[in-house]
């Protein structure tokens, strides 16, 4: 059955971006918004973000990853370096990530450059993960084709036996990325589609704040 989506409408009326109240620094603004989203019962996994990359040919790809840390230095997530996203970043480290907190009618878009975090930092985070997640990172050659799920299950069973009672080492091809922002956009839904959009762009180490038309 084909649905007609043309008539789908939603009026956004939960907030506004008042110029006088918007922080001068985008990291401060993000921290404030993230805290609200993280505390809200309307939002599941406030740290879920869409990471967009473009490979060497220019073909874009997007997927959900989990933000694990943020500071004035940038935004950290972890992945398999040999995955589609890892290979794309190796070819072109310009990335875009976005958060869509629909329950708050808010979106944040961050553009920047992704670099690997230190091996020591990746090892420390890997050691803090649940044991099942550690084994999952060892089992999966992320993004590679596989004959069936049974292959994964058999490999997992073998590794569970191999590392029973032992520490699980971090895979060499697994670790963190730091996104160093060059631009932010904060979007607040408003009625009549006259949404609020505040953009921050980095210019000679200073953040320039602008209001964009909806």
Query: Percent of the chain having pLDDT more than 90?
Result: 93
Which pLDDT value is given to residue 1?
Answer: 64
Q: Distance between CA 180 and CA 175 in Å, rounded? A: 16
Which pLDDT value is given to residue 2?
Answer: 81
Question: Catalytic residue among 63, 131, 191, 193, which?
Answer: 193
**Is it the case that residue 101 has pLDDT exceeding 90?**
yes
Cα 116 to Cα 28, 78, 80, 106: the distances in Å are: 24, 9, 11, 29
The DSSP result for 75-132, as a single string, is: EEEEEETTSHHHHHHHH--EEEEEEEEGGGTEEEEEEEEEEEPPHHHHHHHHHHS-HH
Which pLDDT value is given to residue 145?
Answer: 92
* Domain of 202, in residue numbers: 26-126+174-212
Which pLDDT value is given to residue 201?
Answer: 98
Residue 55, strand partner residues: none
Within-domain flag for 20 = no
Within-domain flag for 188 = yes
Within-domain flag for 168 = no
> Are 174 and 78 within 8 A, CB to CB?
yes
Average pLDDT (113-123) is 98
Within-domain flag for 72 = yes
Per the structure, how many domains does the chain have?
Answer: 1
Within-domain flag for 59 = yes
Greatest Cα pair distance, the chain, in angstroms, is 60
H or E stretch at 138:
helix 131-139
Could you confirm whether 191 is annotated as catalytic? no
Nearest CA to 114 out of 205, 180, 201, 47 is that of 180
Within-domain flag for 118 = yes
Domain harbouring 90, CATH code: 2.30.110.10
**Is it the case that residue 205 has pLDDT exceeding 70?**
yes
Average pLDDT (156-179) is 96
Of 30 and 7, which is predicted with more confidence? Answer: 30
Which pLDDT value is given to residue 141?
Answer: 86
Within-domain flag for 153 = no
Within-domain flag for 135 = no
Which pLDDT value is given to residue 136?
Answer: 95
**Is it the case that residue 3 has pLDDT exceeding 90?**
no
Nearest CA to 125 out of 207, 181, 67, 187 is that of 67
Average pLDDT (13-35) is 96
Note the pLDDT tens digit of each residue in 128-151: 999 999 999 999 989 889 999 999
Instruction: Dump strand ranges (E) for the chain.
Output: 48-54, 60-66, 69-71, 74-80, 94-101, 106-116, 174-188, 196-203, 206-212
Note the pLDDT tens digit of each residue in 182-200: 999 999 999 999 999 999 9
Query: Percent of the chain having pLDDT more than 70?
Result: 100
Beta strand pairing status for 74-80 and 48-54?
Answer: unpaired
Contacts of 45 (CB under 8 A, 6+ apart): 66
**Is it the case that residue 107 has pLDDT exceeding 90?**
yes
């Amino acid at each position: 059955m084909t649905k007609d989506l043309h008539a789908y409408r939603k009026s956004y009326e939960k907030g506004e971006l008042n110029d006088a109240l918007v922080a001068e620094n985008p990291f401060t603004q993000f921290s404030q918004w993230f805290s609200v989203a993280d505390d809200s019962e309307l939002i599941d996994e406030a740290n879920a973000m869409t990471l967009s990359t473009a490979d060497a040919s220019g073909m874009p790809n997007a997927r959900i990853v989990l933000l694990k840390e943020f500071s004035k230095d940038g935004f950290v997530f972890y992945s398999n370096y040999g995955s589609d996203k890892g290979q794309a970043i190796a070819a072109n480290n310009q990335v875009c990530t976005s958060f869509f907190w629909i329950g708050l009618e808010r979106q944040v878009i961050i553009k920047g450059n992704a670099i690997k975090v230190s091996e020591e930092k990746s090892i420390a985070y890997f050691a803090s993960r649940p044991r099942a997640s550690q084994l999952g990172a060892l089992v999966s050659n992320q993004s590679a084709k596989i004959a069936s799920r049974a292959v994964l299950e058999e490999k997992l069973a073998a590794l569970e036996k191999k590392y029973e009672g032992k520490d699980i080492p971090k895979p060499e091809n697994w670790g963190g990325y730091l996104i160093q922002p060059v631009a932010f956009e904060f979007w607040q839904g408003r009625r009549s589609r006259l949404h609020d959009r505040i953009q921050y762009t980095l210019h000679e180490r200073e953040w320039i704040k602008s209001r964009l038309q909806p």
